[in-house]
Amino acid sequence: MLSGKRILLIIGGGIAAYKCLDLIRRLRERGAKVTPVMTQAASEFVTPLSVSALAGEKVYSDIFDLTDEAEMGHIQLSRVADLVLVAPATADLMAKMAQGLASDLATTLLLATDTPVMIAPAMNVRMWEHAATQRNLAMLRGDDVAVVGPNDGDMACGEFGPGRMAEPLEIVDEVIAALGDKPLKGKRIVVTSGPTHEPIDPVRYIANRSSGAQGTAIAAALVSLGAEVVFVTGPADAAPPHGVELVQVETAVEMRAAVLAALPTDAAVFAAAVADWRVVGASQSKIKKKAGALPTLEFAENPDILAEVSQLIDGRPDLVVGFAAETDDVLENATAKRKRKACDWIVANDVSPATGIMGGSENAVTLISEAGAEVWPRMGKDAVARQLAARISEVLV
């Protein structure tokens, strides 16, 4: 899977550095050649001897080592790889990367490299959540650095929360996704996401509780499998993913126009929570409050984008996926919805308040297709997105 791929592994100084020994083994098992670089702090946590023994390569650590420079200059070392992987990426390393500091061999290589960079952050939960780290993370993402993890869980310091380094096999999967063949390369997919806002007047609107998290995660997962994604989003809380063609809309009518303009596509994923109704004749000026006089709103039905695209005679995408957020009789309603709208798949979920799904970070879905209903275990919205993207890639061949 990774045969012939060269990975420059930069090991930062954190307790998670011990996982690097396993990571090296897993990468090599899949055929990758791993060249290790350790920061000075990293060698306080694992010994260069262990790292070197597992990598089958010498460990680079000192920028002023004349022997190394004579063998291979640091600029050359930064460019020999197909991927530079930083694991664990400590808060300090992330800050230096974001600022472009080159204070030791690891940071110099990161500044000098012209190959893709991936980081696996690991740190205490407070350090991860600190505004400075989140700022640095956003900058790194903006610089096209791929990020894997961190995961939630118990930490070596006794606290609990996000900050644990992703497990070696999760990192390996991301490395394969980054370096292996991308199954959705050349495929164009439109994804809708978020709520719509239907104006009553210039300051008031009708909306719903969709955060856009699931749609955003799906678009990101499709991009990472190589798809060209047109991301049509209503006013969502979730920041749009990187690497998409972004179309921001406000109303259902605008969303429909944007989706039709994006066609033809190979697939369409309708994750938006589109308002069912809009206000007829929304006022151009603010409706004044008058004592004792309640305004009456007249509604019109919004276009059903999913049904319309599913029933296109010309230019129907090969795969149309709809969502069904239900609070009662989820399976029955979602199965009927698939038929009624004529889409290929329905991703059904129970959004009754007790599930905490609407606006939360997890989802429990059932995938309904011609073949029947497939219940997926409850998992993070990112994991649902990755699985759905993988399934989409299986049918879009």
| One of 322, 338, 351, 363 touching ligand C5P (CB under 6 A) | 322
Q: By rule CB under 6 A, what string of x and - marks binding of each residue 278-307 to ligand C5P? A: ------------------------xxxxx-
Q: Does 344 bind ligand C5P (CB under 6 A)?
A: no
Tell me whether strands 365-369 and 372-375 are parallel, antiparallel or unpaired.
antiparallel
Q: By rule CB under 6 A, what string of x and - marks binding of each residue 204-243 to ligand C5P? A: ----------------------------------------
Q: Does 270 bind ligand C5P (CB under 6 A)?
A: yes
Structure tokens at 302: 């919004």
Catalytic-residue membership of 157: yes
Single out the catalytic residue among 49, 132, 157, 261: 157
Task: Please identify, among the stretches 43-51, 61-69, 160-168, 270-278, the one whose residues bind ligand C5P according to the rule CB under 6 A.
Answer: 270-278
C-beta of 128 vs 323, nearer to ligand C5P: 323
Q: Does 192 bind ligand C5P (CB under 6 A)?
A: yes
Q: What is the dihedral of CA 41, 139, 136, 37, to 10 degrees?
A: -10
Q: Does 265 bind ligand C5P (CB under 6 A)?
A: no
Q: Does 262 bind ligand C5P (CB under 6 A)?
A: no
Task: Please identify, among the stretches 146-154, 280-288, 318-326, 375-383, the one whose residues bind ligand C5P according to the rule CB under 6 A.
Answer: 318-326
Q: With contact defined as beta carbons under 8 Å apart, do 105 and 37 qualify?
A: yes
Least distance from ligand C5P to the Cβ atom of residue 359, Å:
17
- Quick count: other Cβ atoms within 10 Å of Cβ 157? 13
Measured distance CA(205)–CA(216) in Å, rounded: 23
Structure tokens at 39: 């920061």
Q: Does 323 bind ligand C5P (CB under 6 A)?
A: yes
Q: With contact defined as beta carbons under 8 Å apart, do 195 and 235 qualify?
A: yes
Cα distances (angstroms) measured from residue 300 to each of 113, 306, 341: 56, 18, 19
Within 8 A by CB and 6+ apart from 319, the residues are 266, 267, 268, 344, 345, 392, 395, 396
- Quick count: other Cβ atoms within 10 Å of Cβ 174? 20
Q: Does 198 bind ligand C5P (CB under 6 A)?
A: no
Catalytic residue ranges: 157
Binding stretches for ligand C5P (CB under 6 A): 192, 252, 270, 272, 274, 302-306, 322-324
